[in-house]
């Protein structure tokens, strides 16, 4: 998605440790006009697929998921991060390891809102090591729902998450895949470019 790549080039900030800060338009301040374009692009990519629910994870996935859901005409469910023990039986739950925050947390979805017959599209802002997306896919599987695919705004192609998920047969559509970036020169090379 060219508009998105141009925006990443213009406003993204490369920090040490392969960190890409896009908090001016994606995950702290949020440009909802761009989100509308992103939602329509996900709809184009998954055109023809039967999807009746979008699943994301709090917090920064929620805005993109909601605006994408307008294009699909379906509800959103967001998985909650929790460190409290939950009553067995009421929720689907799995563990996710966060590299950014250096800890493991539980994510949960109420059994009321995900289950057999659901055809689910995962939406998230970032894909790097793929642990969050893997957790969401696990909740979908445990619920008996069908996983249609995953729509990602920015994939760090030099980290293993995308390859790992595709190797498992999950259709992952990333609107911008970064193959490499350089903190010193500020250069970003997207997949498909020279």
Question: Which residues of this chain interact with a copy of itself, rule CB under 8 A?
Answer: 23-25, 28-33, 35-36, 58-59, 62-63, 65-67, 69-70, 73-78, 80, 109-110, 112-113
Three-state DSSP class for 137?
Answer: helix
- Which of 52, 159 has the CB closer to a copy of itself? 52
Burial class, 119, CB count within 10 angstroms (exposed 0-12 / middle 13-18 / buried 19+): middle
Nearest approach, Cβ of residue 63 and a copy of itself (Å): 4
- Which of 18, 36 has the CB closer to a copy of itself? 36
Residue 59, preceding bond cis, omega within 30 degrees?
yes
Nearest approach, Cβ of residue 95 and a copy of itself (Å): 19
- Which of 109, 177 has the CB closer to a copy of itself? 109
Nearest approach, Cβ of residue 141 and a copy of itself (Å): 19
Q: Which residues are CB-neighbours of 129 under 8 A, at least 6 positions away?
A: 99, 159, 160, 161
- Which of 32, 189 has the CB closer to a copy of itself? 32
Residue 111: phi and psi, rounded to 5, are: -65, -20
Helical (H) or strand (E) element with 10: helix 2-11
Nearest approach, Cβ of residue 163 and a copy of itself (Å): 29
Please state, in angstroms and rounded to a whole number, the distance separating the CA atoms of residues 133 and 30.
21
Q: Using only C-alpha atoms, what is the Rg of the chain?
A: 16
Q: Which residues are CB-neighbours of 172 under 8 A, at least 6 positions away?
A: 127, 133, 149, 150, 152, 155, 162, 165, 166
Nearest approach, Cβ of residue 117 and a copy of itself (Å): 15
- Which of 23, 134 has the CB closer to a copy of itself? 23
Nearest approach, Cβ of residue 179 and a copy of itself (Å): 28
- Which of 76, 128 has the CB closer to a copy of itself? 76
């Amino acid at each position: 998605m060219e508009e998105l790549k141009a925006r990443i080039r213009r406003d993204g900030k490369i920090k040490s440790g392969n960190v890409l800060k896009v908090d001016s338009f994606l995950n702290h301040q949020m440009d909802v006009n761009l989100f509308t374009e992103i939602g329509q692009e996900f709809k184009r990519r998954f055109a023809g697929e039967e999807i009746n629910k979008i699943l994301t994870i709090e917090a920064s996935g929620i805005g993109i998921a909601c605006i994408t859901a307008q294009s699909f005409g379906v509800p959103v469910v967001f998985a909650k991060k929790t460190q409290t023990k939950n009553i067995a039986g009421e929720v689907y739950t799995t563990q996710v390891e966060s590299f950014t925050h250096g800890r493991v947390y539980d994510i949960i979805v109420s059994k009321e809102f995900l289950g057999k017959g659901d055809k689910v599209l995962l939406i998230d802002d970032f894909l790097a090591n793929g642990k969050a997306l893997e957790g969401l896919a696990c909740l979908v599987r445990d619920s008996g729902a069908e996983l249609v695919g995953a729509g990602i705004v920015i994939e760090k192609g030099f980290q293993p998450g995308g390859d790992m998920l595709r190797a498992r047969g999950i259709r992952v559509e990333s609107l911008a895949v970064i193959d490499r970036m350089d903190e010193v020169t500020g250069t970003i090379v997207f997949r498909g470019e020279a």
